[in-house]
Amino acid sequence: MKDRLAQLKEKTDQTPEDVDIQVENKEFMDEFFVQIEEIRTSIDKIDENVTEIKRLYSVILSAPTSDQKTQDDLEAITNEIKKLANNVRNKLKSIEQSLESNAEERVSADTRIKKSQHAVLARKFVEVMTKYNEAQVEFREKSKGRIQRQLEITGKTTTDEELEEMLDGGNAAVFTAGLMDSAISKQALSEIEARHKDIMRLESSIKELHDMFVDIAMLVENQGSIIDRIESNMDQSVGFVERAVADTKKAAKFQQEARRVNWEIKYLTGLSHPCMQLSHILNADATFAKKDNNNITQGFSNTLNGQLFVDT
């Protein structure tokens, strides 16, 4: 048989350009994964901030009026979320535009990896920002409920629609007009004004993030099919792993049978000469059993390796 290794080395030495291209590709992918990790870190930080904002919302709702420090902390975290979210959105859009512009590379392995990573991060970003939006809406509803209860204490009842109209007007005076001059009314008035300010600040924040939420909705729409395929491939991979485990057990059983037959052959061979013919037959059977065992193991290994990297 010819020594193919020497020929392979010759060909490798003759094509240095190919080696350079591979290195450049690797460096490019390394840069891509650094960017992906930065995006993931930013999303995780947003998630942490959303948890902290929910805690501050609870603090504000549990007191008649919120102290200045709590309001300052809330404003600082809100601004940080806005900054991080804008950064994540811009990076995700940049990756998306890059993937769309490189139409000739859409079938390459690198492009498939990029699409998968982009889709997963887009979904994660959507989930975190949706959680943030839900926290804002919940805080607004609870603040509105507190205003309604305080108005009832002062003897002024309002429907939900009337309260929404008052909030849309942005003037706290409409809540306090005609209130009785009493200690209860003054306390209620103080809380009504505080809750009204909370809602105004919140709605200002929601308006600032409106364009971002629209972009996020577009990300979900654009990446939906890719994400669905990723989840489908993951489900398939689980199925192949389960089948692989079953095949491994079969392979182990066949191997045990092969060892047992080999032992019996050696034993019979040592007893007497007439057994020699039988030993040759059994030894051949054992060899075929071992080959079947190896074929099963190799077969499920190839199947698993092929299916765990389904084209996404």
Taking only the tens of pLDDT, the chain with its 312 residues reads: 445 444 534 544 444 444 443 434 566 577 888 999 999 999 999 999 999 999 999 998 888 777 889 989 999 999 999 999 999 999 998 988 888 776 665 567 888 888 889 999 998 998 999 899 899 999 989 888 888 887 787 777 777 887 887 777 766 666 666 555 555 566 777 777 788 788 888 888 787 777 777 777 776 666 655 445 544 544 454 454 455 455 555 555 555 655 555 555 454 445 444 444 444 444 544 454 444 555 544 554 454 444 444 444
Largest pairwise CA distance in the chain: 120
118 in Cβ contact with 99 (< 8 Å)? yes
C-alpha to C-alpha distance for 107 and 23, rounded to whole angstroms? 20
Using an 8 Å Cβ cutoff, are 184 and 209 in contact?
no
Burial 255-292 (b: 16+ CB within 10 A, else e): eeebeebbeebeeebeeeeeeeeebeebeeebeebbee
Report, in angstroms and rounded to the nearest whole number, the Rg of the chain calculated over CA atoms.
Answer: 34
Give the span between the Cα atoms of 61 and 149, in whole angstroms.
Answer: 13
What type of residue sits at position 162?
Answer: E
pTM recorded for the entire structure: 0.59
Torsion of CA 134, 139, 140, 141, to 10 degrees: 90
* Cα 289 to Cα 255: distance, rounded to the nearest angstrom: 8
Q: Which helix (H) or strand (E) holds 238?
A: helix 210-271
Name the 3-class secondary structure at 101.
helix
* Listed residue (137, 119, 135) closest to 47, CA to CA: 135
